[in-house]
């Protein structure tokens, strides 16, 4: 998977950028949860979340399996402390960090149990495990296009979106940390169009690793379907988005 992310690194932020002010709001929420403790950003990517931490001089460490992603991060902020490592085998001592942050990571990790076990291992007993994600409207353009794409791929006996690692992982965490909380850190309005989805999703991680003939056929069929209900694929739709941050505190017992 690292090679996939390496190839995506130069344009990753452009396709998945957050509005101005949102990364800063995420930092404020993380700092509020962690206090002055050291922060590990696990799956930091090219820094779309981490840049404000570096800019403020926080005790912040970016970890990613992809050298390309971290290289892009360091090009933009040379002072970042970046470590290329497998999240399932972190090169840190037990209890090293006051906060471990994972943003949009669990949805693409089949081995999430090992990843979370390592995240909890390097977390202080009074620290916080923080899971962040962008939440799109259930009936929005992206949701409708992705649902149709999944149906097209299923008809081709291909199921990249069938597994739900994030749902399984958060259920596992909730059993161990029943007092977890979730806050909305930021909200914003975004303009979406069917064509933008087609262009952006072609570079999505789970989609991009499919065989080329499957990808070409699926996108052609999705484009035909979109033309059937939207006369202009470039028509903008204003949609409400939010960033959620879930807090989990270590507990004495462990999940089954």
pLDDT of 254 higher than 50:
no
pLDDT of 255 higher than 50:
no
Please state, for a pLDDT cut of 70, what percent of the chain lies above it: 91
Report if residue 19 sits inside a domain.
yes
Report if residue 256 sits inside a domain.
no
Q: Residue 165 is part of a domain; what is its CATH number?
A: 3.40.50.150
**Structure confidence by residue, pLDDT tens digits, 201-249:** 877 778 888 899 999 999 999 999 999 988 899 999 999 999 999 999 8
Evaluate whether 52 touches 29 at the Cβ level (below 8 Å). no
Domain that holds residue 114: 2-248
pLDDT of 162 higher than 60:
yes
Q: Average the pLDDT over 162-182 and give the result.
A: 88
- Specify the pLDDT at position 128: 96
Residue that wins the pLDDT comparison between 164 and 222: 222
The 3-state DSSP class for residue 31 equals helix
Report if residue 110 sits inside a domain.
yes
Report if residue 226 sits inside a domain.
yes
Evaluate whether 133 touches 243 at the Cβ level (below 8 Å). yes
Q: Average the pLDDT over 159-187 and give the result.
A: 89
Report if residue 156 sits inside a domain.
yes
Report if residue 234 sits inside a domain.
yes
Rounded-to-10 torsion of CA 140, 142, 147, 148: 110
The two tokens of residue 4 are 């996939």
Q: How many domains does the chain have?
A: 1
- In Å, what is the CA distance from 147 to each residue of 14, 81, 134, 150, 252? 23, 39, 17, 5, 40
Report if residue 99 sits inside a domain.
yes
**Structure confidence by residue, pLDDT tens digits, 42-94:** 999 999 999 999 999 999 999 999 999 999 999 999 999 999 999 999 999 99
pLDDT class of 10 with cuts at 50, 70, 90: low
Residue that wins the pLDDT comparison between 179 and 217: 217
- Point out the least confidently predicted range of 99-103, 104-108, 173-177: 104-108
Report if residue 109 sits inside a domain.
yes
């Amino acid at each position: 998977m690292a090679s996939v992310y390496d190839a995506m690194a130069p344009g990753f932020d452009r396709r998945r950028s957050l509005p101005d002010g949102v990364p800063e709001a995420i930092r404020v929420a993380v700092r509020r949860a962690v206090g002055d403790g050291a922060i590990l950003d696990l799956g930091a990517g090219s820094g779309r979340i981490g840049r404000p931490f570096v800019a403020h001089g926080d005790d912040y460490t970016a970890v990613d399996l992809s050298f390309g992603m971290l290289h892009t991060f360091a090009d933009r902020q040379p002072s970042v402390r970046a470590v290329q490592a497998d999240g399932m085998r972190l090169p840190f001592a037990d209890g090293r960090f006051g906060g471990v942050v994972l943003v949009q990571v669990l949805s693409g990790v089949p081995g999430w149990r090992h990843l979370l076990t390592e995240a909890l291992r390097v977390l202080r007993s009074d620290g916080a495990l923080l899971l962040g994600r962008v939440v799109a409207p259930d009936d929005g353009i992206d949701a409708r296009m992705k649902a149709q794409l999944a149906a097209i791929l299923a008809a081709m006996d291909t199921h990249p979106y069938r597994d739900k690692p994030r749902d399984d992982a958060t259920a596992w965490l909730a059993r161990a940390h029943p007092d977890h909380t979730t806050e909305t850190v930021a909200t914003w309005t975004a303009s979406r169009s069917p064509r933008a989805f087609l262009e952006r999703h072609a570079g999505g991680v789970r989609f991009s690793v499919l065989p080329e003939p499957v990808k070409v056929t699926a996108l052609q069929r999705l484009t035909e379907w979109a033309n059937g209900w939207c006369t202009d694929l470039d028509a903008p739709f204003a949609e409400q988005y939010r960033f959620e941050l879930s807090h989990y505190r270590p507990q004495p017992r462990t999940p089954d």
